[in-house]
């Protein structure tokens, strides 16, 4: 075989056939074709090196992203949670929004790519550096073929001539990149022309602002979404990116006929559809200003909360109810076999302390929870009604819950903390159903917080949040129940996980103890055999020494009559056995 492959650089077909035959013969020996193919091996090595280089680059990018995000977070030593680090800049994103003329460059780009490269050079470099980038991922997101595909490295390749719209250098990595990609994928020139509602980051700002309002300590600080999220959110970046891509698919509407109404249709379809209020941002001409106001709209004012509380019903609300009949919320409710307790007084002044057990009984009634709640709080079940829209406008409850819920499931998969030890898909669905049950309850009582927030907020923040909002007793009881259940659920999961780890540890320990026992038994038998052998050797040596000893007549001493004894100083004496026994008997 060496003769075949070594001398010829380009083997003929005949040689290749011969190689094939020999290779097939060698298959039985477990040898692969590549063992004999020098060029194949070379290609293999080159491919492997290329893969390693790409992997290193990928890991470096991931490390940089993590570093950037972790720089925005700080570890709470008491709770072990990562909390956003307060930034000194106040509402930096909003500043960028309100002053679109101040177009900021991507700091990372300008710093890293000090040598200004032309667009074509960048594209060429991109193509050379990432030849394996799948166009299918990015191509649909880019409507304009002149715009390069959206990849993770796009921000690095962004030509310096193209200004980054509303790019805030203080934004943390993933979200920053996401919006950069979004802006990049959309027709930038079109957006430049539409300075009135140019800020595509506005919807994110809406959500972020709403979310940040639930963190009172941080409410005065403009924070990016990534700042508000635990490190696990890093793992959800891909999902967020996909969402952004989906959003960017809608850009034809923008390009074709993009007006304030279309803009609102795109980002606030529910608001447009459900609320007939002139105060909505879509209604007015100055969309930009209203959009700016939207995220800054306060969380439910005490008055709003009061009007939403179960104890404050009015007859005119029933008209609203007729106008907005119950609609399927799409949330699954567990049908519990329990029967409702007729003894419970469900009605009254609305401030009855509904513990969760009450809730269970209520929801498990023959008419289902929703109907029971509808009886108790007819207004509150207008899930698609104006109140809902009002809440959406305020960024409370469902819209916000969904935004929190979306990364949560992905987060749960990525983080060890919330991932149940024995997760299966259908059981996950069940747990989600359970969670949605709490969400349903929270919605029924118009709890203005997301369930996740209720559960995961640190104690101080939770108390502060509760203090900031006037909740009636039923709401307070439900919120505490949700928090207790959520905490206990996590505790139970941790407990079971720990128990399983203990069991596995004990099994491992048992195995190693068995192995050690086996080893010691082997060692013992080995020592026994060795001892036996030494005894035999000693005995034969003893006899040999005895045979060499002679008396005055040259006769050998009998081992039966004499024995050899050694004193402490090492001297050896020949002691007569009889005499010895006589001495002993004396």
Residues interacting with DNA, by CB under 7 A?
334-338, 356-357, 360, 420-424, 426-427, 430-431, 434, 437-438, 459, 462, 481, 483-489, 491-496, 498-499
Nearer to DNA (CB atom), residue 144 or residue 334: 334
Report d(CA 400, CA 391) in Å as an integer.
9
Where do the H-state alpha helices sit in 257-385? 260-267, 269-274, 287-296, 302-308, 315-323, 356-363, 368-376
Cβ distance to DNA smaller for residue 57 or 499: 499
- Least Cβ distance, residue 215 to DNA (angstroms): 16
Of the two residues 367 and 421, which places its CB atom closer to DNA in the complex?
A: 421
Nearest approach, Cβ of residue 457 and DNA (Å) = 9
The answer to whether residues 152 and 61 touch, using CB atoms and an 8 Å cutoff, is yes
Backbone angles phi, psi at 398, to 5 degrees: -60, -50
- Please, what is the minimum distance in Å from the beta carbon of residue 500 to DNA? 8
What's the CA dihedral at 199, 205, 207, 213 to 10 degrees? Answer: -160
Both tokens of 183, joined, read 């802006």
CA pair distance 203, 291, nearest whole angstrom? 9
In the complex, what is the shortest distance from the CB of residue 158 to DNA, in angstroms, rounded to a whole number?
A: 43
CB of 501 to DNA, least distance (A): 10
Please identify, using beta-carbon distances, which residue of 422 and 542 lies nearer to DNA: 422
State in angstroms the smallest separation of the CB of 228 from DNA. 20
Closest CB to DNA among residues 254, 453: 453
Residue 332 to residue 369: CA distance in whole angstroms: 11
Toward DNA, which CB reaches closer, 492 or 578?
A: 492
Antiparallel, parallel or unpaired: β 73-75 and 82-84: antiparallel
Residue 130 or 417: the one with the smaller Cβ distance to DNA is: 417
The backbone torsions φ and ψ at residue 459, rounded to the nearest 5 degrees and listed phi first, read: -60, -50
Nearest approach, Cβ of residue 488 and DNA (Å): 5
DSSP, res 550: B
Are 246 and 428 spatial neighbours (Cβ–Cβ below 8 Å)?
no
Closest to DNA by CB, 495 or 538: 495
Give the three-class secondary structure for 28: coil
> Alpha helices, DSSP H only, in 445-472?
451-456, 459-468
CB contact at 8 A, 448 and 397? yes
Least distance from DNA to the Cβ atom of residue 481, Å? 6
């Amino acid at each position: 075989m060496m003769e075949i492959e070594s001398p010829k650089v380009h083997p003929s077909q005949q040689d290749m056939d011969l190689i094939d035959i020999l290779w097939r013969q060698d298959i039985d020996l477990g040898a692969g074709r590549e063992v004999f193919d020098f060029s194949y091996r070379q290609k293999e090595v080159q491919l492997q090196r290329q893969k390693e280089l790409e992997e290193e680059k990928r890991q470096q990018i991931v490390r940089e992203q993590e570093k950037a995000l972790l720089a925005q977070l700080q570890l709470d030593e008491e709770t072990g949670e990562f909390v956003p680090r307060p930034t000194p800049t106040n509402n930096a994103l909003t500043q960028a929004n309100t002053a679109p003329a101040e177009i900021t460059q991507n700091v990372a780009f300008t710093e890293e790519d000090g040598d200004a490269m032309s667009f074509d050079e960048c594209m060429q470099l991109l193509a050379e550096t990432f030849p394996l980038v799948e166009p299918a991922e990015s191509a649909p997101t880019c409507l304009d073929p002149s715009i390069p595909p959206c990849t993770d490295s796009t921000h690095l390749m962004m030509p310096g001539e193209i200004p980054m719209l509303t790019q805030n250098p203080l934004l943390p990595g993933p979200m920053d990149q996401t919006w950069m990609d979004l802006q990049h994928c959309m027709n930038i020139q079109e957006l430049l022309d539409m300075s009135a509602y140019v800020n595509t980051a506005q919807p994110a700002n809406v959500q972020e602002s709403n979310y940040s309002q639930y963190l009172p300590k941080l409410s005065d600080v403009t924070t990016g979404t990534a700042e508000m999220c635990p490190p696990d959110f890093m793992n959800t970046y891909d999902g967020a990116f996909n969402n952004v891509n989906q959003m960017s698919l809608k850009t034809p509407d923008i390009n074709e006929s993009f007006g304030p109404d279309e803009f609102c249709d795109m980002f606030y379809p529910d608001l447009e559809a459900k609320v007939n209020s002139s105060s909505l941002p879509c209604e007015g001409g100055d969309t930009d200003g209203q959009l700016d106001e939207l995220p800054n709209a306060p969380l439910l004012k005490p008055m709003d909360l009061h009007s939403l509380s179960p104890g404050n019903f009015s007859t005119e609300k029933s008209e609203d109810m007729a106008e907005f009949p119950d609609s399927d919320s799409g949330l699954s409710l567990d049908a519990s076999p329990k029967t409702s307790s007729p003894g419970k007084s469900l009605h009254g002044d609305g401030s009855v302390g509904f513990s969760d057990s009450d809730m269970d009984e209520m929801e498990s009634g023959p008419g289902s929870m929703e109907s029971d709640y509808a009886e108790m709080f007819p207004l509150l079940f207008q899930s698609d009604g104006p109140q809902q829209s009002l809440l959406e406008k305020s960024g409370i409850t469902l819209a916000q819950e969904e935004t929190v819920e979306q990364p949560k499931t992905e987060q749960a998969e990525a983080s060890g903390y919330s991932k149940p030890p024995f997760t299966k898909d259908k059981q996950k669905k069940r747990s989600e159903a359970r969670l949605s049950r709490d969400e349903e309850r929270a919605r029924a009582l118009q709890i203005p917080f997301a369930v996740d927030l209720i559960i995961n907020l640190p104690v101080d923040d939770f108390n502060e949040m509760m203090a900031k909002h006037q909740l009636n007793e039923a709401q307070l009881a439900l919120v505490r129940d949700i928090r207790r259940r959520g905490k206990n659920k996590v505790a139970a999961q941790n407990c079971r996980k720990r128990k399983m780890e203990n069991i596995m540890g004990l099994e491992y320990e048992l195995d190693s103890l068995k192995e050690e026992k086996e080893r010691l038994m082997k060692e013992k038998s080995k020592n026994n055999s060795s001892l036996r052998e030494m005894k035999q050797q000693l005995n034969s040596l003893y006899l040999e020494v005895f045979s060499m000893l002679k008396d005055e007549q040259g006769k050998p001493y009998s081992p039966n009559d004499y024995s050899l004894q050694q004193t402490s100083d090492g001297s050896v004496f020949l002691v007569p056995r009889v005499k010895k026994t006589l001495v002993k008997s004396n």
